Chain A
Amino acid sequence: MEILQFSFMQNALIASLLISIICGLIGALVVINRMVFIAGGIAHGSYGGIGIALFFGFAPMLGASLFALFLGIILAYITHRNANRLDALVGALWAFGMALGIILTDLTPGYNVDLMSYLFGAILSVSTEDLYAMSAILVLVCGFVLLFYKQLLAMSFDAEFAKLRGINVTLLYFALVLIISLGVVITIRAVGLILVIALLTIPPYIAEKFTNSLWEMMIASTILAAFFCLSGLFLSYTFNLSSGASIILVATLAFCLQLLVEKVKRF
């Protein structure tokens, strides 16, 4: 267990667990509400925020968070108004954010070495401040889910009925999208914006097959996400591989296994 002696490794392990709980809770809501594409749009679009932050010289994660919230509001508004052409609009925002990010980093003097870490994650260089930020968002996500569990379940299941039972579905939906935005951005720190969607969707997808309720699905997703993160981290340390990509490869492998098991079961 010599790897645990390094402080960067300790930070990485703590970050993995924090991220896993965030992904487990948010991912389940993303999957049951069919918001995977929206989450993807926010993740990629938030790169625009990183560009803005680099250009104006403030913390990139702050830029990404604010920009993700901005995109979240736009997307929530669009989905709420007209869900018909949602995919095209998300695609446009997705590309807009990335293009803005690239142009602004181009315009920023000096080569920025950190860039790759936002694309593919840098869980091994997570700082103590990052851990604080992750903890804060975790508290926010947990609070939101615990306080509004039955309303979230009712809205996800049947929004019309939920509205009829006096729930402010519009407000709850906006809040959900904003919470997802924050969760997505903080997960970017660990696995990067390109891979975040896999960590957000694979655990809930597997979990929903063998669970009986939303909260069971959330817990199972959290455990699966933690397993993917820790084993991915171990593989990346042992074989000197990129950490974010290792985590996602373990996750996708489990995803394929699950599909295979399902196919075999049908016979």
Chain B
Amino acid sequence: MQNDIILKDLSFNYEGTPVLENINLHYSKKDFLAIIGPNGGGKSTLLKLMIGILKPQHGSVTLFGKSPGQVSERISYVPQNTFTTKGFPIQVLDIVLMGRLSKTKSFSFYSKNDKAMALKMLEKVGMETFAHHKINALSGGQRQRVFIARALASEAEILFLDEPTASIDTAGQIDIFKLLKQLNESIGIIIISHDINVAMNYATKVAHVNKTLYLHDVGNAKNFAIFDTKETPVHICPIELITATRCTHLHPKQS
């Protein structure tokens, strides 16, 4: 199996409070990975470690065989908070163009090609008519689409999204997930989602993160036999709750 991302014995703490412990993960960009878990469970921290915004205190992150900082132009990112400085004068198109930064020349303005690409990506998220609107005039859901377009404009091989559909209505969420699913034919998708239902319908792998990480294979979720165990699993697994089946993996006892 191809391993585009390898997390090895990854641990992270904020001022002594452990957020993530002993995370191990192998990810191939063929997969659509949804990261779920409770608030404060370390989902965003994990994502930021994977893209290199945060540095691990223990263990290692390997992207395409290198450290995240060396391959930053091969990945892109949609942040959780898209509410920018109030009154900052900037148009939607100019934000999407930022996605082109690593593809365009350093000491000049954006090219026609960059602009065409940015417009194309706005069209993909259904925001092309807003290209010349100021970002501050847009709703939360519209902003999130713009930030997705910005990430798409990077032409990255793996796209990381931190709750990109948090302020989008259900119909809009499904549109976004459909788009991501279609993109997943050629690029990797790693998404933090609060909506397990939607995530389950599109993801091929689900990682449940709550200080530790449990990886679930969604493809087999409906087929596997009831997990026969004499030990009661201590980790309450949302995947089990939804699929009404038991996980194929063993949940180690939490101390």
Residues of A at under 8 Å CB distance from B?
32, 34, 147-151, 153-154, 156-158, 160-167, 208-209, 211-214, 216-217
Contact = CB atoms under 8 A, between A and B. Distances in A.
Top 5 closest A-B pairs, CB basis? A165-B101, A166-B102, A154-B98, A165-B102, A211-B89
A115 to B, nearest CB: 38
A153 B87 contact: no
Contacts, number: 78
Dominant SS among interface residues on chain A: helix
Interface residues of B, number: 32
Interface in B1-55: 51-53
A157 B90 contact: yes
A147 B76 contact: no
13 contacts: A32-B88, A148-B107, A150-B110, A151-B106, A154-B101, A157-B88, A164-B52, A164-B77, A165-B76, A166-B102, A208-B87, A213-B91, A216-B89
B12 to A, nearest CB: 17
B165 interface: no
Given A157-B84, A160-B79, A212-B134, A165 B99 contact: yes
Interface in B55-105: 72-73, 75-77, 79, 84-85, 87-91, 94-95, 97-99, 101-102, 104
A166 B98 CA distance: 11
B193 interface: no
Interface of B: 51-53, 72-73, 75-77, 79, 84-85, 87-91, 94-95, 97-99, 101-102, 104, 106-107, 109-110, 132, 134, 150, 154
Contacts of B101: 150-151, 154, 162, 165-167
Nearest to B99: A165
A158 B90 contact: no
A32 B136 CA distance: 14
Nearest to B93: A213
Contact of A164 (B51, B94, B107): B51
A124 to B, nearest CB: 35
A153 B90 contact: yes
Contacts of B90: 153, 157, 212-214
B98 A164 contact: no
B94 A153 contact: yes
A43 B77 CA distance: 38
A225 B90 CA distance: 21
Contacts of B154: 165
A34 B86 CA distance: 11
A182 B82 CA distance: 33
B53 A212 contact: no
A165 B110 CA distance: 14
